[in-house]
């Protein structure tokens, strides 16, 4: 699966400290795994907004929106 991040997301992510950045990266990886396998890991909040657009959050991380395009 090809992954790309919107410039606005990357700009916002720069404002956070290293711990939050790493947490967001880990949560994004978990969401991609969930999207491919269908198994939701504990501690990951995922909600389908519409189509292939999902909202996700980790236990300590800010919310972010992911769009999957095949």
- Please report how many Cα atoms fall inside a 13 Å half-sphere around the Cα of residue 17, on the Cβ side: 2
The answer, as to whether pTM is greater than 0.75, is no
Cα distance between residue 6 and residue 66, in whole Å: 9
Q: What is the domain extent for residue 31?
A: 7-67
Residue 2 domain-assigned?
A: no
pLDDT of residue 29: 81
Residue 1 domain-assigned?
A: no
DSSP, collapsed to helix, strand or coil, labels residue 22 as helix
Residue 30 domain-assigned?
A: yes
Strands (E), 23-70: 45-50, 53-57, 64-67
Residue 53 domain-assigned?
A: yes
Give the count of domains, the chain. 1
Instruction: State which residues of the chain have pLDDT below 50.
Output: 70
Residue 62 has phi, psi (to 5 degrees) of -70, 155
């Amino acid at each position: 699966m090809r992954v790309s991040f919107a410039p606005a997301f990357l700009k916002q992510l720069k404002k956070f400290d290293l711990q939050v950045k790493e947490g967001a990266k880990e949560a994004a990886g978990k969401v991609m795994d969930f999207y491919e396998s269908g198994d939701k890991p504990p501690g990951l909040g995922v909600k389908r907004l519409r189509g292939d657009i999902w909202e996700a959050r980790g236990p300590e991380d800010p919310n972010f929106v992911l769009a999957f395009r095949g």
